[in-house]
Amino acid sequence: MNCDENMNTANIGIIGVGKLGFSLVQGLVKSGYPVSSIHVFDKSKSMLDRAAELGLKICGSLEELVSLSNIIIISVRPNDVEGVARELAKIRVEGKKVVSTAAFVSLRALEELIGTPSVYRAMPNIAAEVNSSFTALSPPNRKDIGIEKIFTYIGVVEWVDEQVLDALTITSSSTPAVVAELMDAFVLASLRAGVPLDVAMRSVAMVFQGIGKLAEQKELWSIRNTVATPGGTTVRLLQKIYEHGVKERLLSALVEAYEEFSKKLSEYREKESKKE
């Protein structure tokens, strides 16, 4: 049966089980996806050993992975994508669907390198490990139910234009590192106030998790105004935040980071066009 009709028969091949790739397989396994339908390949033996502990099918070559898979996910660093794509082109992947999770490398470049129009891009984040990733998929004019369902196993999916997917590299894929830094600041402040470490960790984790859920239902300003009361502790805390320019500085940092990313992305696109 076609994998789009019954996901239980979809064989997934994941090339690269480093940080992101391993997060993907962890999320798939935790969600109940059949381990017998997940095949992995990596040049690193230590990465493969770690994947084998989850009961996944370890492939000895790209040829083996392709032969066993309906949907192939390339989860390697951007600089390694071209090499993997050229190897896939030699193997010939007609009838297969290929998804790249790498930043920078465009759909057009992937299609030309691999030699198939059935190429997609995905931008998940490491929260896939706990089935809470936001994953952008592209292109939206070729939505594929089979691919969408795979990434739904690890969180929420949104089909977007490739330009939007690129922007989400900073605001979604990289953001978990920034959020972790913010959470760490709250934990340290709690410790300074005398809160035990385990209690501080749990409370901060629950606050961020809870506000994330509220943000799906309410405007952010509404959440803030619900907590803040005239002359209260929250208002004084917010005043200190504004006095120190925390929000303004964070916004500036994010904008500058995106501008640097955008410049590097343009350089990648220029290199791609010269190779055509």
Each domain of the chain, given as residue ranges in start order, spans 7-160
**Is 60 exceeded by the pLDDT of residue 1?**
no
**Is 90 exceeded by the pLDDT of residue 6?**
no
Strands 57-58, 71-74: pairing kind: unpaired
Mean pLDDT, residues 60-72 taken together:
95
Element (H, E) at 40: strand 38-41
Gap between the Cα atoms of 179 and 209, Å rounded: 11
Q: Which two tokens stand for residue 264?
A: 């590097």
Gap between the Cα atoms of 120 and 157, Å rounded: 14
Please answer whether residues 17 and 45 qualify as being in contact, where contact means their C-beta atoms are separated by less than 8 angstroms: no
Please answer whether residues 96 and 76 qualify as being in contact, where contact means their C-beta atoms are separated by less than 8 angstroms: no
Collect all residues with Cβ–Cβ distance below 8 Å to 156 and sequence separation of at least 6.
133, 134, 135
Q: Choose which CATH entry (3.20.20.70, 3.10.450.40, 3.40.50.720, 1.10.10.60) describes domain 7-160.
A: 3.40.50.720
Collect all residues with Cβ–Cβ distance below 8 Å to 7 and sequence separation of at least 6.
33, 146, 149, 150
Q: What is the pLDDT of residues 156-196, one digit of tens each?
A: 999 999 999 999 999 999 999 999 999 999 999 999 999 99
Collect all residues with Cβ–Cβ distance below 8 Å to 17 and sequence separation of at least 6.
25, 40, 42, 47, 48, 50, 51, 75
pLDDT class for 76, splitting at 50, 70, 90?
A: very high
